[in-house]
Amino acid sequence: MLLFLEQLLNGVQLSVTLLLMASGLTLIFGIMSLLNLAHGSLFMTGAFVAAWVSGETGSWALGLLAGAGAAFAVGLLIETVVMRRLYDRDHLDQVLATFGLILFFNEMVRLVWGIRPMRLDVPDALSGFVEVVPGAPYPVYRLVVIGAGLAVMLALGWLVRGTRIGMRIRAGSVDREMIGALGVDIGRLYSLVFALGALLAGLAGVLAGPFLAVQSGMGEPILILAFVVVVIGGIGSLKGAVVGSLVVGLTDTLGRVYLPDILAFLFGEGAAEAGAAALSSMLIFLVMAVVLAVFPSGLYGRKG
């Protein structure tokens, strides 16, 4: 039971990282109708710049600021140079162009930082443990990631629900022609939303950096999960991103842990060993399929 609580915590922590990725992805998709495969590259940018700056200066906080800032800046840059030309094209063109960006960024970090993976450690102040569950010391840093992610999401919720910019963003996601006709500068609104999504992705990259190998291509595995979150939650819905992240994070974590036992109980030891690893990596996609069968536009997606 205590172990189960700890696994829940692990699941929530994965959910928070996914949420930071998926919220940007869903806003960009919902408002600009832009399918951005290069979102994982912004995750990678955040992690690399943070690893580099904190390695050079010895300060983790500076690394965090630099990593998130760099992702924001790169987001603005690619919005201006590339994305702007894609808003009116169909989704296949967008997929091709942003897939090209993935290749570009993966090669770019290799040219700049070499083929060796970079090092990004847990900051010293946060490297301790707390016994959230008795007898199972849990890393403080993982708790901080959960807390930081939730704080950022609350801030984002306030931005979208409680401010004038947020009102425009919401209006833009419902009817972009109308708010353009009402005199809102759509171009600037789009740049802002895209860069905001980039900032969140960069932040996710910095926060996840200490668990992960900071290397070229590190953004793709998380990107795939983030897309599943967006699809489950419903495109364009922040509330959907929250629920979707929890569904994916918990299903993936708990599935990996408990599926072998469940299968062993149902089908015997041998079948479980062969099937569990394969099935648990498919599990979130099965969940996605079921959700789509019942709610064709996702849990919180708009109908039609």
Partner 1 sequence: MHRKPAAIAAAAAFAAATALSSTAALAQEPVKIGMVTTLSTGAGYLGDHVRKGFELALEQSGAADRVELLVEDDGLDPAQASQLTQRMVERDGVKLMTGSIFSNVAMATIPKLVRNNDVVYVSPNAGPAPLAGKGCHPKYFNVAWQNDNLAEVMGQYATDQGYERVYLLAPQYQAGKDSLAGFKRFFKGEVVDEVYTKLGQTDYAPEIAELRDAAPDAVYFFYPGGMGINFMKQFAQAGLADKIPALGPAFSFDDTLLDAVGDAAIGFYNGSQWSPDLDNEPNRKFVAAYIAKYDEYPTLYSSQGYDAGNLIVSALTETGWSTDDTDALAAAIKKAEFDSVRGDFRFGNNNHPIQDLYVREVYKDETGNITNRMVAEVFEDHQDAYAAECEM
Residue with smaller CB distance to partner 1, 3 or 182: 3
Q: Pick out residues in 222-251 that bind partner 1 (CB under 8 A).
A: 222
The yes or no reply on residue 10 touching partner 1 (CB under 8 A) is yes
Q: Pick out residues in 174-213 that bind partner 1 (CB under 8 A).
A: 210-213
Residue with tokens 């702007």: 84
Q: Tell me how far, at minimum, the Cβ of 172 lies from partner 1, in Å.
A: 34
Among residues 96, 136, 182, 290, the one that binds partner 1 under rule CB under 8 A = 136
How many residues bind to partner 1 according to rule CB under 8 A?
Answer: 41
Distance, in Å, from the CA atom of 257 to the CA atom of 264, rounded to the nearest integer, reads 12
What's the distance, Cα to Cα, between the start and end of the chain in Å?
Answer: 43
In three-state secondary structure terms, 299 is: coil
Among residues 1, 116, 164, 270, the one that binds partner 1 under rule CB under 8 A = 116
The yes or no reply on residue 281 touching partner 1 (CB under 8 A) is yes
**Long-range Cβ contact pairs of 124-127 (< 8 A, separation 24 or more):** 124/60
CA 24 to chain centre: 8
The yes or no reply on residue 11 touching partner 1 (CB under 8 A) is yes
DSSP result, 196-221: HHHHHHHHHHHHHGGGS-B-TTTHHH
The yes or no reply on residue 60 touching partner 1 (CB under 8 A) is no
* Residue pair 136/3 in contact by the 8 Å Cβ criterion: yes
The yes or no reply on residue 168 touching partner 1 (CB under 8 A) is no
The yes or no reply on residue 54 touching partner 1 (CB under 8 A) is no
Residue with smaller CB distance to partner 1, 278 or 293: 278
